[in-house]
Structure 1
Amino acid sequence: MFSATLPAGVEKIAMSMLQDPIRLVVGLKDTPLPLIAQSLTYVADDASKLPSLLTYFAQPYNPPVLVFTSSQPRASSLAEELTMNGIRNVDCLHAGMTRKEREDSVSRMRKGETWILISTEVMARGMDFKGVREVVNFDFPTSVQSYIHRIGRTGRAGREGKAVTFFTDEDGPFLKTIANVILQSGSKAPDWMLKLPKPSKMKRRQMGKVKRPETVNNARKVGRREALKKRDMISGSKRRAAKAQSVPVPPATGTSSP
């Protein structure tokens, strides 16, 4: 049995099912590899994430990059926003896509045609892409295990990797949990984060469950609604004008002078 993380309850069950079990731990338990340079980036609120990510990709980066979101609609929305903002070779992968769409997305990633892959938790475990150099947690992870599995997509087979996690004011109560993991793996975490109060067990259950909008750009959503309304008004006006021109005009009646 092999796992990057093994919660105590699962370990207890596994041990009870095995005869003379031997436990072998590589590195520290529930800790990412030291080859991954980790950092936490403050983005204030959800609306600030997209501009922050666009700024991130405006600087030199090392593709391929995995970007994790909290839901399928947000993954699709973010992929669309990046493409509309001129970011090249962006793709999307989540369970809401058809099997053919997922297979095509995986194929493009493995061929090197995709530079940035937007995904959900489905990509955090079980699927391996060689050479992933950077991971961005656009939405805060749902647990320590989720964080470790997400950033574990990079820094594999002796290669160095990079992991950036955005956090908002709403994610603040859970910062210390991730900061401790970062510190244990050899990366630096700000002192003020390490001094934060430890979240209670009940509070930890709420980690990553902050309610977020389905789109990553609400302003564009409103703008699209207005644009569609304007488009329909113009189309209706053109139809009425075309209909008026197509109605035959009756010939003029009356007597003419000799």
Structure 2
Amino acid sequence: MARPVKLGALLGRLKKEDTAGNNDSNKIAKPKLISKNERCVMAKKLQVGGGVKNGEDDTYADILKVSTSTESKIDPQKDEGEVKVDKRQNNSKSKFQFSWDLKDDTTSKYEPILPKHLLNEIHNKHSRDKTLESLENVYMGKHWTDKTYQEMTDRDWRILNEEFHITTKGGNLNSIPDSNIRHPLRSWNDLDVIPKELIDILINKLHFNSPTPIQRVAIPNVASTNFRRDLLGVSATGSGKTLAFIIPILIKLYKEKIRPHSIKIMEGPKALILAPTRELAQQIERESQKFVSFWGNGSCQVTSIVGGHSIEEITHNVSKGCDILVATPGRLIDCLQNHVLSINMIDFLVLDEADKMIDLGFEDQIKTILNQINVGNNKLVRKMLFTATLSPSIQSIAVSYMENPIYVMVDSGENQAPKIQQIVDYTISDDVKFERLKNNILPIYKAPIIIFINYKATADWLAKKFQDETRFKCTILHGSKSQEQREHSLSLLRTGKADIMIATNVAARGLDIPNVSLVVNYQMSKNFDDYVHRIGRTGRAGNIGTAITFLDGNEDEQVISQLYNYIQENNVTGKNKFSPHIKETFNLGTNGQFKNIIY
């Protein structure tokens, strides 16, 4: 193999050849540099046609001619950075040569993202919206509402859950989403979970065109027969929880054979629903009976057991047969101890407003009922627990008594939050409160109106003041009233025979009184959660409501601090007001900048 040529020898050889080939005729004169102004003057003379006067240096003219000729050959559409100059030419007239290779053209196969006809339609104002919508479908895909159930992708389900603020978890609160959790309903007809006869009642009779978020996720998971898992639903009051557990119960009864009357008496109910208060229990009974009344076959009976009714009266009602039993915990235990009925054959157990039952001291009674169901039943009971807040006690019940529960959390979301204007006002005494109510507030709001107080004596005093000094018709609701009186008070308010209901926290949760325009906290609740439930009686079903709270500065500092933060964070209407005097009294709005300073 030959050795490579040394670099020094190679350079010496090339130098000799270059020297031999050069002669004076091929030498290029050194160009003379001219200023910008001089170049402009020379170019102007050449363009006018005057040429170069005698005696002027022809070098300038040659340079300008060359530059003009070469520039005229340059394609204006080409990028200046891509123009190549061949410096190997020795001819002075063509020493600047611009070459172009089509392979270097990066725009030769360029195609716009949008076709030309779509671009033209976008510029057209009349068809712009439709065109943009079609473009979104082409490049982003169809919206989940335009797809069939089989076309839904994981991304579509994620978007649906985000739109309705739905979060589902299985096993425990910290686990990843469980694969057995079924996707939410997009409409009542999805997956044929709900029989067509029941869908017809929902849409055409009850006028529920689409399910609420809690109904979307609860119904397919509870009504499914492929797997049996319990459900714990966390959702705000007024979110449609009643239908979320009533519909799966009715689906089960619809698919089963009608039980004879004697069997119903002997076996007892197939579903048990526990509620914290008499009013809520009777409201659930009323809503269930409304649904069943449209069913038409008369095979399903709903009965309630609440305090205020004698054992004899309850026995008489149960003897008619019962498929769905709604009860308060204390009264149900009394009936079980007196052998009025049996709950050993139930398929469903529902705990509605479970957090309220815990607050009212029913935790031991709930556990007693759960223990009896687990011991007495030979089959697995489907359990559903619904609550507005997930307290440690609720989690303890879920872990101890529920079978591998599915956790469902539905946030209200900004678009779904009740539209309630919250006003906090400072008042010195009860007399000042009443005068403001009588003269400035009540005349501008329509009935029904609810006024919340903390003490029964205050309710009686306030009702007498309204009777003596105003034309407003009032009714009273508190724990010392008999069951008949409580039912009568609610009936008066619902039917419009009473304008105002003065109530304790008995009416704060679960009750659905349509079109309440105003809620007045005549006395601020001692528990902040009760405040949230109180004002939740207004602003329901998409209506705009108002909540006015009177404070005198003697309230609990922690509760008022929570109240202030809540009003700042939940200003849906943009019209919330908080008394400056109360802010100053409780040192609110300072972010605690001086709170931890030790003097």
Shared fold, TM over 0.5 = yes
Partner of 2:568: 183
Deviation at 1:109, TM superposition (A): 1.1
Contact 1:37/1:161 (<8 A) preserved: yes
Provide the C-alpha distance between the structure 2 equivalents of 1:87 and 1:148, rounded to a whole number of angstroms: 30
Provide the C-alpha distance between the structure 2 equivalents of 1:56 and 1:172, rounded to a whole number of angstroms: 27
User: What secondary structure does 2:424 align onto?
Assistant: strand
Provide the C-alpha distance between the structure 1 equivalents of 2:496 and 2:391, rounded to a whole number of angstroms: 38
Contact 1:34/1:186 (<8 A) preserved: no
Partner of 1:208: none
Deviation at 1:55, TM superposition (A): 2.7
Partner of 2:409: 24
Contact 1:45/1:169 (<8 A) preserved: no
Partner of 1:8: 391
Provide the C-alpha distance between the structure 1 equivalents of 2:389 and 2:413, rounded to a whole number of angstroms: 12
Structure 2 vs 1, CA of residues 46 and 108 (structure 1 numbering), >3 Å: closer, same or farther?
A: closer
1:61 aligned onto 2:445: yes
Structure 2 vs 1, CA of residues 176 and 65 (structure 1 numbering), >3 Å: closer, same or farther?
A: same
Deviation at 1:196, TM superposition (A): 7.2
1:154 aligned onto 2:549: no
Contact 1:176/1:196 (<8 A) preserved: no
Deviation at 1:28, TM superposition (A): 5.6
Provide the C-alpha distance between the structure 2 equivalents of 1:125 and 1:105, rounded to a whole number of angstroms: 16
Provide the C-alpha distance between the structure 1 equivalents of 2:592 and 2:448, rounded to a whole number of angstroms: 36
Structure 2 vs 1, CA of residues 10 and 53 (structure 1 numbering), >3 Å: closer, same or farther?
A: farther
> Is there any run of 5+ residues in structure 2 with no aligned partner, and where?
1-231, 237-387, 594-599
Correspondent of 2:457 among 56, 73, 79: 73
Contact 1:46/1:168 (<8 A) preserved: no
* Moved segments of 4+, more than 6 Å: none
Correspondent of 2:491 among 107, 125, 128: 107
Deviation at 1:15, TM superposition (A): 4.3
Partner of 1:120: 504
Contact 1:176/1:197 (<8 A) preserved: no
Partner of 2:39: none
Q: TM-score, normalised by structure 1?
A: 0.67
Provide the C-alpha distance between the structure 2 equivalents of 1:49 and 1:169, rounded to a whole number of angstroms: 14
Structure 2 vs 1, CA of residues 96 and 45 (structure 1 numbering), >3 Å: closer, same or farther?
A: same
Contact 1:34/1:185 (<8 A) preserved: no
Provide the C-alpha distance between the structure 1 equivalents of 2:550 and 2:523, rounded to a whole number of angstroms: 7
Q: TM-score, normalised by structure 2?
A: 0.31
Contact 1:33/1:155 (<8 A) preserved: no
Which structure is richer in relative contact order (CA contacts within 8 A, separation 6 or more)? Answer: 1
Deviation at 1:189, TM superposition (A): 4.8
Larger Rg over CA atoms: 2
Deviation at 1:184, TM superposition (A): 1.6
Deviation at 1:7, TM superposition (A): 4.6
Provide the C-alpha distance between the structure 1 equivalents of 2:391 and 2:472, rounded to a whole number of angstroms: 43
Correspondent of 1:87 among 458, 468, 471: 471
Contact 1:15/1:21 (<8 A) preserved: no
Contact 1:176/1:194 (<8 A) preserved: no
Equivalent residue letter for 2:407: I
What aligned pairs does 1:236-255 form with structure 2 within 5 A after superposition?
Answer: none
Contact 2:438/2:470 (<8 A) preserved: no
User: CA-atom RMSD, angstroms?
Assistant: 2.8
Contact 2:472/2:499 (<8 A) preserved: yes
Provide the C-alpha distance between the structure 1 equivalents of 2:421 and 2:397, rounded to a whole number of angstroms: 32
Structure 2 vs 1, CA of residues 85 and 144 (structure 1 numbering), >3 Å: closer, same or farther?
A: same
Instruction: Give the total of aligned pairs.
Output: 197
Structure 2 vs 1, CA of residues 151 and 128 (structure 1 numbering), >3 Å: closer, same or farther?
A: same
Equivalent residue letter for 1:9: P
Structure 2 vs 1, CA of residues 25 and 149 (structure 1 numbering), >3 Å: closer, same or farther?
A: same
Equivalent residue letter for 1:147: Y
Correspondent of 2:435 among 51, 59, 82: 51
| Structure 1 range deviating more: 118-127 or 185-194 | 185-194
Partner of 1:237: none
For residues 111-140 of structure 1, give each alpha carbon's deviation from its aligned partner in whole angstroms, at most 9, with x where no partner exists. 111111111110001222111111000001
Equivalent residue letter for 1:186: N
Structure 2 vs 1, CA of residues 99 and 11 (structure 1 numbering), >3 Å: closer, same or farther?
A: closer
Structure 2 vs 1, CA of residues 86 and 45 (structure 1 numbering), >3 Å: closer, same or farther?
A: closer
1:194 aligned onto 2:579: no
Deviation at 1:147, TM superposition (A): 0.5
| Structure 1 range deviating more: 62-71 or 182-191 | 182-191
Correspondent of 2:514 among 116, 123, 130: 130
User: What secondary structure does 1:171 align onto?
Assistant: coil
> Is there any run of 5+ residues in structure 1 with no aligned partner, and where?
199-258
Deviation at 1:77, TM superposition (A): 1.5
